[in-house]
Structure 1
């Protein structure tokens, strides 16, 4: 275990001094060497090799060949499973690897009965195995005609890059043990209607999975935008606001208490944004307050539809000449999603961001549950929450309260309050800030911040 030995006495400081001191403490408390090691261990060479292999299957269209060993979606998914099996063998069988499938028919993009087959690998947590964080990429590719299942469709960036990143994250993180479970998912049927994500999300709900985060990686390798910008230092995190599953009564309460910008998906995105600042050199992430790109979608959406926290991680500068295009050259413009359009070092950088975020959450205690707040017409603010199960979370050191100005994008102030279930911030007026609570481990790993009430809950 990694012990952080720097502490500040909380009893001898004024609140203003305490906030400053705790901000300094947070920098030491969260700059955790294991996360630096994880980021450093991600290999651009492995990602290049995996993307190249996936491209060489010719097409990975959902309706493409399934019997060939060298071409089509069947060959691709069998290779992905074999790679997960190799990773598991190297860590003594630490991954549970399996196909997840369902026959789909009668859909606009899947008219005839077709098996939509994803590849799932689970790295079970040691103390809280039923708590999950998920990284996903989608297997399938397409050209201009979404129903064309025979033409070459390399899908190098969209989305061999996301699958390769998921495989590489599994290689790196499988060398560690975590309290919570990590799932690596290569999902199928994305281009035909997000079917792999729907199948997985619905099965997870049926099986009672306590999903705390879904990190969907869809196009993480392109740095040359259609707008002429070339930039390998930024990435986007798309995160929806109000939960899709919000009830009318929850909406009524939110109107008076806030929470529009503090859904669990938004606070998951803030968590990943901080991980980028602390552990990924030369990467600045943009948290986009939207489910996905304008009018478009990805495999995190089926999880959001069921109320699970989920975000899309991707490049900042898209090149539409390289997306969903027949391979061709017209008027001097080269179209098609080929290897030439992928920057492997950049894909490794975004993979490392996923890996440190997954590790941080899986090592941390579960996010606080049943967080409530009160302080109307009072000079102080009180937050309360349910105590975490100590059997599932033996690493728990206590909780940290966060707050920020209501127009601030990121949490600004914090105070570690110990292993308690309620705390009052004296002379901090509830009307002037947004508040939240995070769980903290003995080694300094923190959960995402949980906003009070149903609007911010990460589930029980």
Structure 2
């Protein structure tokens, strides 16, 4: 018999204590005594609303950041904005002894509906390399560019305060805070261009990551993280949404056929990345409840995480719960007493800081944690017990593994068992038909990787090169 523990705080239900009857075939492993990490609380508290406000104002002051706008001026247009962001990353790197690699990842785009003539789309990237696994990446992104009502209007003022100076400011602030720490894995801070014209910055960076052979284990795309009063009249600074796709768009016919019989429609790597962030919110971010939205993005819409999803990477969108469409993609004007336009007075800086803290703590936790296990397999059909197998990590960080399971209709993991430094474990009398299962890797402090659902559907690493 063992004491059942769930490290997913949203799902502890007394009615489910029957799970304590389950045992494993392993001898009892000494479990890392997980306590809330003081350093993660410190990271959450270190995010500054005042610095975020200053950064949003700086971006707004460029007048417009439209992808097709001015690039030579030092005071107006996307070129000036890019150079300012790059200078901010370089300043942060100088303060941490050169801990950031600051670079431009770019390409020339032309012949597109929204970019008919050749335009250089430039992303500004800062990489904080991990000490043990420098090629294992988690990423936070925001969009540089802004727009007004006419997506091709690149001369009118388009402040883009919430959409999406808030996201870029969050990325820069996360770099300031996290650069004071050292991690096992790497963290990428990305300011992406060309989102409003067709997600081109994300496509360029996703392709770059693939060519570089990065092991991308999570992309947190932040697109509008500063508005608290919605078009629906609701004012709420205590919730946020995490959008995540289900099965991968690159799923093969054979993988889809297998999934039909084994499940996993709600357990893609992106979905379990979203659950991970949701758990971080419950544990480390005061007065914030995240809503897991089982959809790629808002209904019929898209964002800069999608190009990473399109290539098979785990990627989600983090954003405000209540949008105000009068302040998105609008010319600056007042009509019938309604004020239109995305100006800085519509941004709640404390709320932006709260969502930035969520990102920073999630990135830190994943970068300190071991990599998600590979090659997770499951068996147990027409048997009383369920067995999981996986490939053990070869890093210096992993000390053991934990199995999670839940009822198939539950959104979060409910039950867990630490099984030690093994590559196989059996849950006796836990019938495979009744639950979904997954495996995490654990470090000496008890910090865990995201859950990996068995098979291709849940893998964080696939043959996507």
Q: Which TM-score tier does this pair reach, normalised by the shorter chain?
A: over 0.9
CA distance in 2: counterparts of 1:101 and 1:380, whole angstroms: 52
Residue in 2 that maps onto 1:112: 117
SS in 2 for 1:84: helix
Structure 2 CA distance, aligned partners of 1:151 and 1:91?
A: 38
2:235 pairs with one of 226, 230, 234: 230
Q: CA deviation at 1:365?
A: 0.5
- SS across alignment from 1:122: strand
Residue 266 (structure 1) aligned with residue 271 (structure 2)? yes
Q: 1:16 aligns with which of 20, 45, 48?
A: 20
Q: After superposition, what is the alpha-carbon deviation per residue over 1:177-202, rounded to whole angstroms, capped at 9, x for unaligned?
A: 00000000000000000000000001
1:305 corresponds to 2:310: yes
Task: Tell me what 2:351 maps to.
Answer: 346
What's 2:27 paired with?
A: none
Cα pair distance change 1:219/1:17, threshold 3 Å? same
What secondary structure is seen at the aligned counterpart in 2 of 1:360? helix
1:139 lines up with 2:141 in the alignment: no
- C-alpha RMSD of matched pairs (Å): 1.7
Is the alpha carbon distance of 1:295 and 1:26 closer, same or farther for their aligned partners in structure 2, counting shifts above 3 Å? farther
2:422 counterpart residue number: 420
- The answer for the alignment partner of 1:3 in structure 2 is none
Aligned pair partner of 2:67 in 54, 58, 62:
62
Matched, 1:244 2:246: no
Distance in 2 between residues matched to 1:326 and 1:55, nearest whole Å = 15
Query: Are the structure 2 counterparts of residues 89 and 18 from structure 1 closer, same or farther at C-alpha, using a change threshold of 3 Å?
Result: farther
TM-aligned CA deviation for residue 36 of structure 1: 0.4
* Cα pair 2:22 2:430 within 8 Å, conserved: no
Deviation of 1:33 (Å):
1.2
Aligned structure 1 segments of 4 or more residues deviating by more than 2 angstroms: 7-10, 25-28
Q: Distance in 1 between matches of 2:172 and 2:331?
A: 27
Is residue 188 of structure 2 the alignment partner of residue 186 of structure 1?
A: no
Instruction: State how far apart, in whole Å, the 2-side matches of 1:94 and 1:121 are.
Output: 9
Structure 2 vs 1, CA of residues 28 and 398 (structure 1 numbering), >3 Å: closer, same or farther? closer
Q: Which of residues 407, 430, 433 is equivalent to 1:431?
A: 433
Find the counterpart in structure 1 of residue 26 from structure 2. Answer: none
Q: Deviations over 1:83-124 (max 9, x none)?
A: 000000010000000111111000000000000011000000
- Count residues with an aligned counterpart: 443
Decide whether the 8 Å contact of 1:141 with 1:159 is kept in 2: yes
What is the DSSP-based 3-state SS (H/G/I as helix, E as strand, rest coil) of the residue aligned with 1:396?
coil
Separation in structure 2 between the aligned mates of residue 374 and residue 444 of structure 1, nearest angstrom = 27
In the alignment, which residue of structure 2 is the partner of 1:164?
169
Give the Cα–Cα distance (whole angstroms) in 2 for the partners of residues 129 and 8 of structure 1: 36
Residue 334 (structure 1) aligned to one of 322, 336, 339: 339
Unaligned regions of 5+ residues in structure 1, if any?
1-6, 20-24
1:38 aligns with 2:43: yes
Given the two structures, how large is their TM-score scaled by the length of structure 1?
0.94
CA distance in 2 between counterparts of 1:154 and 1:51 reads 10
| Cα distance in 1, alignment partners of residues 279 and 85 from structure 2 | 31
Structure-2 separation of matches of 1:118 and 1:395: 32
Instruction: Tell me if 1:255 matches 2:260.
Output: yes
Q: Distance in 2 between matches of 1:34 and 1:300?
A: 28
Structure 2 regions of 5+ residues with no counterpart? 6-17, 24-29
Contact residue 106 and residue 123 of structure 2 kept, 8 A? yes
The whole-number CA distance in structure 2 between the counterparts of 1:145 and 1:28 is 56
Tell me if the contact between 1:30 and 1:445 (Cα under 8 Å) persists in the aligned partners: no
Pairing 1:69-108 to 2, within 5 Å after superposition: 69-108=74-113
Q: Measure, in 2, the Cα distance between the counterparts of 1:352 and 1:449.
A: 22
C-alpha distance in 1, partners of 2:49/2:104? 27
8 Å Cα contact 1:142-1:324 kept in structure 2:
yes
Which residue, 115, 118, 128 being the options, matches 1:123? 128
Q: Which residue of 2 aligns with 1:22?
A: none
Alpha-carbon deviation of 1:26?
9.8
Superposed CA deviations along residues 261-282 of structure 1, whole A, max 9, x for unmatched, are 0000000000000000000000
